[in-house]
Amino acid sequence: MDTHSLSAFLEVAEASSFSKAGERLHLSQPAISKRIAALEAALGTPLFNRVGRRIDLTDAGRTLLPYARRVLAELEDGRRALSHLSGAVSGRLSIGTSHHIGLHRLPEVLRSYTQAYPDVDLDIHFMDSEDACEEVAQGRLELGIVTLPRDPPDALRMQMIWVDPLSVVVAPTHPLLREPEPKRLPTLKALAAYPAVLPDERTYTHRIVTAALQAHGVAPRIRLSTNYLETLKMLVAIGLGWSVLPRSMLDDTLVALELPELVLSRELGAVWHRGRTRSGPARALLDLLAAAR
């Protein structure tokens, strides 16, 4: 039994798909199938039921799963601990981050990092912050650079890096800006009468916005949801609804509304697993992120 076969088993079990497991491990589907077959032969029992396109764990597979997770996690911790002995910052660092943070916050940090530590192999995955936190909690990624959850899972530790102020935004042609008394500030009640475009309800940003509105007895009337902030910006600019976006994204295609009773922000930062050893590359990146505050 080798770790490559165990890694393939774990990926197939979590994705319920040989092809998706291959994508995660950068292997072909036949290569994944070969590793699973070798593991099943070594153990003398099938690990998956294969019925059409459906893949489920057998009783043996379900029994093996927690042991495989522990073995691979311990080996990864050992690798990270050994990396501290030499003092050299090298090896693979797997990171999950959102598209917005990747576009607007990380470029300068990662440029400095790659120049300072050329022997680190950065493995960057772009995904929703919520998914990145889950991947770190499950041990599949070492670090997440994300919108920080207000109620983090027990498995995660967090480091706040940036405060990200948010603004309620509309198109320059939005009806709220054509009120008969242009000097009068719009109210939250007036805003809620118009459709909104927001991230979907499972996102941390959505929860921040709706909780703030609910504190004033207001609920948004959501027309469309998407988790890509650049797409939300476009939808607002063409007049499909109002939204809440980071102030760093404001330009002449948007108008930020003055709503004194609604002060919004979110925290961006790093998350890592509480029970896992941080590698040298991870520690070095966390130090650079702290300096970027």
Residue 198 or 54, more confident: 198
What is the rounded average pLDDT of the residues 278-282? 89
Rounded to a whole number, what is the distance in angstroms from the first to the last CA of the chain? 46
Residue-level pLDDT at 248: 92
Confidence of residue 89 (pLDDT cuts 50, 70, 90): confident
Least confident of 75-79, 135-139, 256-260: 75-79
Encoded amino acid at 139, one letter: G
What is the rounded average pLDDT of the residues 17-23? 87
DSSP string, 46-84: --EEEETTEEEE-HHHHHHHHHHHHHHHHHHHHHHHHHH
Residue-level pLDDT at 170: 95
pLDDT tens-digit series, residues 214-240: 999 989 999 999 999 999 999 999 999
**Averaged pLDDT of the chain:** 89
Map tokens 């029970």 to a residue.
275
Class of the 1-86 domain? Answer: mainly alpha
Separation CA 68–CA 73 (nearest Å): 8
DSSP designation for 260: T
Separation CA 57–CA 12 (nearest Å): 9
Residue-level pLDDT at 159: 95
Confidence of residue 87 (pLDDT cuts 50, 70, 90): low
What does the domain layout of the chain look like in residue ranges? 1-86, 163-268
pLDDT of residue 291 exceeding 60, the answer is yes
Residue-level pLDDT at 184: 59
Residue-level pLDDT at 292: 82
Confidence of residue 143 (pLDDT cuts 50, 70, 90): very high
Residue-level pLDDT at 35: 92
Residue-level pLDDT at 236: 97
Asked if 1-86 and 163-268 have one fold, the answer is no
- Rounded to the nearest 10 degrees, how much is the dihedral formed by the CA atoms of 156, 245, 126, 162? -50
pLDDT tens-digit series, residues 171-217: 999 998 876 554 556 788 889 899 999 999 999 999 999 999 999 99
Residue-level pLDDT at 172: 93
Q: Architecture of domain 163-268 in CATH?
A: 3-Layer(aba) Sandwich (3.40)
Confidence of residue 50 (pLDDT cuts 50, 70, 90): confident
What is the rounded average pLDDT of the residues 56-78? 87
Q: Is 72 exposed, middle or buried (0-12, 13-18, 19+ CB in 10 A)?
A: middle
What is the rounded average pLDDT of the residues 111-140? 93
